[in-house]
Chain A
């Protein structure tokens, strides 16, 4: 009996999530009147008028999500790749070299995960302003990379620890240099972990809002989350709910696609990061 109630609750809750997703996608094709009067119906007005993508076109062009989309894709891809590039060797060395002090050093890095962004943002802003790196995508890129290092190193040390030592030793006996061993033996073995780290960082940065608000001032550097934040204000003045929800969809749907493709990897990656 209890179990039945529990299952019902679980399904209800799950259903709610699905409903939310449906609402978002449906609403992004609706007029404001439909959004509020008929929240669960299928969109029809824009379809009837032969302009089903009206809201998306509005968001893409008028609210400049199109440009922001490109900026975000490039920025997130470059930053995520750089993060892994910097973190993987560090995590490897910390977890596999057996150098004294590795443990405390790993701990020291891990503390960084617990430092809220807001607590360092003021010195960062002042410092980057000195270097002329505010209002600059390069500046934002550097911040994204640097601030993601603790989490990524922590995550990857977990992965490297699970790899078997034997293959590397065999390679070493064959006379391969340690660098070569790392590049041609260890990295391919750890591919799963690296990809997970890449994805998790990409998701986090894709949704990052605070740094983008503080550090980017001009439209040309707006990321999607930043553009959405600005558009939210304007859209309410203009009652542009259709365009707004389409904007939300432009932010959410790529992540959804990525998630559908890679859900298992994302979930195991995150839980591994937490479980280790």
Chain B
């Protein structure tokens, strides 16, 4: 499990007009073991009164991200005297735990999830408080505003309807086509869709079809290139459903999606997550379109398998299809939120600022193989291609799935989009029928939503 890290890649690119903090000193990531033994950095902000803090986490205790957060919480206690109680609840806890709890008195101070989920579940229920003041708090090295590039804190995705910041990110995620560099010698990233099709070859695309979210990415990536950021969300929210048809970009995206579907591995819709992505890791399929967590999960799989295999991870983005005008790259962030009912908001905010300290946040790339919003943190080599795409000034950032999974609290995707997309991928719907179906189903959906 040898990893190398490309330090300083962040220097090269300063996308999106952010005043990138130059990495004055060449910081290199510690090894995972070393990270947990480094001295705790000083806290820039200490809560004046709060002595404790409850944090509900989307991770579990044994996951690398969970371990990093546990370590940071212990450091926080050491440096500020604030006791941190953590509940490890796993990915689905916003729905299962936090949302029902909002109406009770058992509410955490601090919680985390991706932006779309937080917005759909907690912000819409009025469960969060504005975090704009966190930007002014001191981390261990500079204020939060200094260390977070604007591209990751000044977007519609992270603000509520009143324009207030509802969360502060600590992990940046992208998505990409993944391949094993060892298996594709002389690889060249495709520049046209035809090159992509040639590359994908026969039945070589892995997809865990039971996760609607993953299955939706092909259409959504292509459509975003035709209709631009926000275009999918607009069509989804059109009560007449006609936007799906009036913009020809959707049909073109559907046609390409149908072609990609013909490259999917046998049985992609009959497995159980994460079996198919593991088949990719085993070499049964050459390509996998997956989030930036793909290497983490598949590497852990290969290690636990005990088969002695490894992958040299490479990634590339969708090319621009013919006639498309928006060069986009999808971004999602995992962020902290503070509940409206929090009893210790001050401590929660101080912890957020503390965790963004470089030496602490370094655990995310070093231990958990994740990208962070800080530009001065080196990048795990697996994610170098992806990081470059995310910081390419020519590419516009757009939210994962254009936030479709958060429309109407997720019900739109579940009831309208995912079933239609599944039928398109299976060939049960032609691209034209797919667009028609989206139009009628969207209209029908909004009629019952009254």
| Closest chain B CB from A125 CB (angstroms) | 7
Q: Known A230-B60, A233-B91; judge A31-B304 contact (CB<8 A).
A: yes
Known: A218-B106, A219-B88. 17 other contacts (CB 8 A): A31-B305, A32-B301, A32-B305, A32-B306, A62-B61, A125-B100, A129-B105, A132-B104, A135-B106, A230-B89, A233-B90, A234-B91, A237-B297, A238-B304, A239-B278, A239-B304, A241-B304
With both beta carbons as reference points, the residue of chain A lying nearest to B98 in the complex is identified as A217
| Closest chain B CB from A244 CB (angstroms) | 11
Contact partner of A231 (CB less than 8 A), chosen from B60, B92, B103, B104, is: B60
Q: Are B89 and A219 in contact (CB under 8 A)?
A: yes
Q: Are B101 and A237 in contact (CB under 8 A)?
A: no
| Closest chain A CB from B200 CB (angstroms) | 26
Contacts of A85 in B (CB 8 A): none
Q: Are B63 and A219 in contact (CB under 8 A)?
A: no
Contact partner of B273 (CB less than 8 A), chosen from A64, A126, A236, A241, is: A236
Contacts of A74 in B (CB 8 A): none
Q: How many angstroms between the C-alpha atoms of A132 and B273 in the bound complex?
A: 37
Tell yes or no: B30 within 8 A of A by CB. no
Q: How many angstroms between the C-alpha atoms of A239 and B297 in the bound complex?
A: 8
| Closest chain A CB from B66 CB (angstroms) | 9
Q: Are A135 and B92 in contact (CB under 8 A)?
A: no
Residues from 221 to 251 in A contacting B, C-beta threshold 8 Å: 230-231, 233-234, 236-242
18 A-B Cβ contacts within 8 A? A126-B103, A134-B101, A134-B104, A214-B96, A217-B56, A217-B100, A218-B106, A219-B89, A230-B89, A233-B90, A233-B92, A234-B60, A234-B63, A234-B90, A236-B273, A237-B63, A237-B91, A239-B274
Tell yes or no: A140 within 8 A of B by CB. no
Contacts of A32 in B (CB 8 A): 301, 304-306
Q: Are B103 and A129 in contact (CB under 8 A)?
A: yes
Tell yes or no: B415 within 8 A of A by CB. no
Contacts of A214 in B (CB 8 A): 96, 100
| Closest chain B CB from A59 CB (angstroms) | 10
Contacts of A239 in B (CB 8 A): 274, 278, 297, 300-301, 304-305
Tell yes or no: A187 within 8 A of B by CB. no
Q: How many angstroms between the C-alpha atoms of A129 and B274 in the bound complex?
A: 36
Q: How many angstroms between the C-alpha atoms of A239 and B96 in the bound complex?
A: 23
Residues on B facing A (Cβ under 8 Å): 56, 60-63, 87-92, 96-98, 100-101, 103-106, 273-274, 278, 297, 300-301, 304-307
Q: How many angstroms between the C-alpha atoms of A125 and B100 in the bound complex?
A: 9
Q: How many angstroms between the C-alpha atoms of A242 and B300 in the bound complex?
A: 13
What 1/0 mask marks residues of chain A from 139 to 181 whose CB sits below 8 Å from any chain B CB?
0000000000000000000000000000000000000000000
Contact partner of A218 (CB less than 8 A), chosen from B60, B87, B92, B304, is: B87
Contacts of B60 in A (CB 8 A): 63, 230-231, 234
Q: How many angstroms between the C-alpha atoms of A33 and B306 in the bound complex?
A: 7
Contacts of A233 in B (CB 8 A): 90-92
Tell yes or no: A81 within 8 A of B by CB. no
Q: Are A33 and B305 in contact (CB under 8 A)?
A: yes
Q: How many angstroms between the C-alpha atoms of A259 and B228 in the bound complex?
A: 61
Contacts of A33 in B (CB 8 A): 305-307
Q: How many angstroms between the C-alpha atoms of A214 and B304 in the bound complex?
A: 32
Contacts of A217 in B (CB 8 A): 56, 87, 89, 97-98, 100-101, 106
| Closest chain A CB from B56 CB (angstroms) | 8
| Closest chain A CB from B212 CB (angstroms) | 16
Residues on A facing B (Cβ under 8 Å): 31-33, 45, 58, 62-64, 125-126, 129, 132, 134-135, 213-214, 217-219, 230-231, 233-234, 236-242
| Closest chain B CB from A124 CB (angstroms) | 12
Q: How many angstroms between the C-alpha atoms of A134 and B106 in the bound complex?
A: 8
Q: How many angstroms between the C-alpha atoms of A125 and B106 in the bound complex?
A: 13
With both beta carbons as reference points, the residue of chain A lying nearest to B301 in the complex is identified as A239
Q: Are B61 and A213 in contact (CB under 8 A)?
A: no
With both beta carbons as reference points, the residue of chain A lying nearest to B54 in the complex is identified as A218
| Closest chain B CB from A119 CB (angstroms) | 17
With both beta carbons as reference points, the residue of chain B lying nearest to A232 in the complex is identified as B90
Q: How many angstroms between the C-alpha atoms of A106 and B141 in the bound complex?
A: 71
Q: How many angstroms between the C-alpha atoms of A97 and B274 in the bound complex?
A: 60
Q: How many angstroms between the C-alpha atoms of A32 and B302 in the bound complex?
A: 10
Contacts of A238 in B (CB 8 A): 62-63, 297, 300, 304
Contact partner of A219 (CB less than 8 A), chosen from B87, B91, B101, B104, is: B87
Q: Are B305 and A132 in contact (CB under 8 A)?
A: no
Contacts of B103 in A (CB 8 A): 126, 129
Q: How many angstroms between the C-alpha atoms of A239 and B91 in the bound complex?
A: 15
With both beta carbons as reference points, the residue of chain B lying nearest to A125 in the complex is identified as B100
With both beta carbons as reference points, the residue of chain B lying nearest to A239 in the complex is identified as B301
Contacts of B273 in A (CB 8 A): 236
Q: Are A45 and B274 in contact (CB under 8 A)?
A: no
Q: Are A132 and B105 in contact (CB under 8 A)?
A: yes
Q: How many angstroms between the C-alpha atoms of A241 and B305 in the bound complex?
A: 10
Q: Are B63 and A129 in contact (CB under 8 A)?
A: no
Q: How many angstroms between the C-alpha atoms of A230 and B96 in the bound complex?
A: 10
Q: How many angstroms between the C-alpha atoms of A220 and B101 in the bound complex?
A: 16
Q: How many angstroms between the C-alpha atoms of A238 and B67 in the bound complex?
A: 14
Contacts of A234 in B (CB 8 A): 60, 62-63, 90-91
| Closest chain B CB from A151 CB (angstroms) | 27
Contacts of B106 in A (CB 8 A): 134-135, 217-218
| Closest chain B CB from A227 CB (angstroms) | 10
| Closest chain A CB from B284 CB (angstroms) | 13
Q: Known A214-B100, A217-B106, A238-B300; judge A64-B61 contact (CB<8 A).
A: yes
Closest 7 A/B residue pairs (Cβ): A239-B301, A234-B60, A129-B104, A135-B106, A62-B62, A217-B97, A233-B90
Q: How many angstroms between the C-alpha atoms of A126 and B301 in the bound complex?
A: 42
Q: Are A135 and B101 in contact (CB under 8 A)?
A: yes
Q: Are B305 and A63 in contact (CB under 8 A)?
A: no
| Closest chain A CB from B127 CB (angstroms) | 14
Contact partner of A31 (CB less than 8 A), chosen from B62, B87, B97, B306, is: B306
Contacts of A134 in B (CB 8 A): 100-101, 104, 106
Q: How many angstroms between the C-alpha atoms of A219 and B306 in the bound complex?
A: 31
| Closest chain A CB from B80 CB (angstroms) | 23
Q: How many angstroms between the C-alpha atoms of A33 and B304 in the bound complex?
A: 8
Q: How many angstroms between the C-alpha atoms of A7 and B56 in the bound complex?
A: 55
Q: Are A240 and B96 in contact (CB under 8 A)?
A: no
Contacts of A135 in B (CB 8 A): 101, 104, 106
Contacts of A213 in B (CB 8 A): 96
